[in-house]
Chain A
């Protein structure tokens, strides 16, 4: 796989504040990299350095082999960028604005026309083409920003909080759009919405206080969760049997811990945590069958990203 974005020992200081602290990573073709982190973690600052808007205090950024400081224009030609808040020229209409971007991106004549039509259709802007961007709703403004970023079919797409402030339908639309483009490009997007990582990203990097604290696929990150491979079991049984059932469950060789979620007169619900995060669901279901328990629900947890996120980002 070809490395499209290569970041080495990137640092950014604002006076005495270290906004980005020695971050290194690489992104290869086809990856959708999610940048996760609490507000003020340094996500935007990192993206501004990748896109050449901010000069790093130290470290290097290479986009498709082009150093952003040594050959900024070649690097910038390969990047499509949606800055945070999707700034656009408010007095221009969507059509005028996109035409301006297309010209700056070197598109001309028929080629430009075709490309504009294609993108306008792709992000559904037909209905607002002649409206000043100022007067557009947030969702449409964001789409104009996205259209602007993908107009020149960039190899690397950098999106700073692309779904921030949108309603659930709009969020869904933007995510679909992003997923559709995944194969052809490298996409780096920042977010503090964890579900988004699952919905669109093939890999996630967690940043806290300017430092890279985790890097892996969403599932890998989830496997760090306390809840990873935990099993929730609900069964119909009289309440007086509860102590016995609890004891049996805890006696299973791989079960480390039991938490009572519910003990009502006819329904018992427990959450069981494995030793060393090993799979325990088979063991539990086999035991339940042998004892002829009336199992209402047996649920395997794949881990909670938000819990991992909280643990990681508050520990640093």
Chain B
């Protein structure tokens, strides 16, 4: 795990070595603001909470997270550094974890920088800060799940654009499977069990539950097992295809 930590540090620092980090953070904050204040009717709702803010996160992440994750492995492949990394005394698992955790930490930093939003609601009213905290936790977990998918798909290709597009599509599927419209479509003919299964795979179902302030163990398990699954798949793919 020492190696994971060392790779984590290198990877996180590499975000800030280029303008990527700053561009990402600015876009993230800017879009969060637009979504919340304009589309989410933050003021006219007259409620002291951050629900409109969190409600847009799945959509925000749908494009921003794949953009972050696409370079995880595709870039190592393209620049040939994967050969360097994989011939150092480091296991694939350590490398996969270190890189993933660094990107996750980076999204945590971006998310953390939305704190003025939290200050604003507290200034305007009396929100339930526990619910807001839950929202942040849920959002971070969802970001992790998106990232783990992106990590796996980035491991498949050296082309970052392809990695981006496929990740968006897969993540979209994970969002839409909880969408009322999609579920209604299945409800028409599929047994309830299947509808439930499909909906239980959705980010939305679990994220909405958490962001309403209900931190249920099942939702946590959902996100963590999703991440574990995709990271495990990443490790297997890297192991099998590292030199292709």
Q: Which residue of B lies closest to A52 (CB)?
A: B87
Size category of the B interface is 20 to 34
CB distance from B165 to the nearest CB of A (A): 24
* Binary CB contact string for chain A from 47 to 68 against chain B (1 if under 8 A, 0 otherwise): 0100111100000000000000
> Is B17 touching A92 in the complex (CB atoms < 8 A)?
yes
Within 8 A of A (CB), among B58-102: 79-81, 83-84, 86-91
* Binary CB contact string for chain A from 30 to 53 against chain B (1 if under 8 A, 0 otherwise): 000000000000000000100111
> Is B243 touching A54 in the complex (CB atoms < 8 A)?
yes
> Is B14 touching A104 in the complex (CB atoms < 8 A)?
no
Contact with A79, one of B3, B86, B87 (Cβ below 8 angstroms): B87
Q: Which residue of B lies closest to A96 (CB)?
A: B13
Binds B, one of A82-90, A113-121, A167-175, A269-277: A82-90
Does A103 sit within 8 A of B, measured CB to CB? yes
Contacts of A51 in B (CB 8 A): 87
Q: Which residue of B lies closest to A81 (CB)?
A: B87
Contacts of A100 in B (CB 8 A): 6, 10
> Is A87 touching B81 in the complex (CB atoms < 8 A)?
yes
CB distance from A20 to the nearest CB of B (A): 13
> Is B17 touching A53 in the complex (CB atoms < 8 A)?
no
Does A203 sit within 8 A of B, measured CB to CB? no
Q: Most B CB atoms within 10 A — which of A90, A104, A105?
A: A104
Q: Which residue of B lies closest to A132 (CB)?
A: B17
Q: Which residue of A lies closest to B90 (CB)?
A: A104
CB distance from A150 to the nearest CB of B (A): 14
Does A101 sit within 8 A of B, measured CB to CB? yes
Complex Cα spacing A52 to B85, Å: 11
Contacts of B212 in A (CB 8 A): none
Does B126 sit within 8 A of A, measured CB to CB? no
> Is B84 touching A87 in the complex (CB atoms < 8 A)?
yes
Contacts of A89 in B (CB 8 A): 10, 14, 79, 81
Contacts of B13 in A (CB 8 A): 96
Interface residues of B (CB under 8 A from A): 3, 6-7, 10, 13-14, 17-18, 79-81, 83-84, 86-91, 242-243
Interface residues of A (CB under 8 A from B): 48, 51-54, 73, 76-77, 79, 81, 83, 85, 87-92, 96, 100-101, 103-106, 132, 148
User: What are 17 A-B residue pairs whose CB atoms fall within 8 Å in the complex?
Assistant: A48-B243, A52-B87, A53-B86, A53-B242, A53-B243, A76-B87, A81-B87, A83-B84, A85-B80, A88-B84, A89-B14, A96-B13, A100-B10, A101-B88, A104-B6, A104-B90, A105-B89
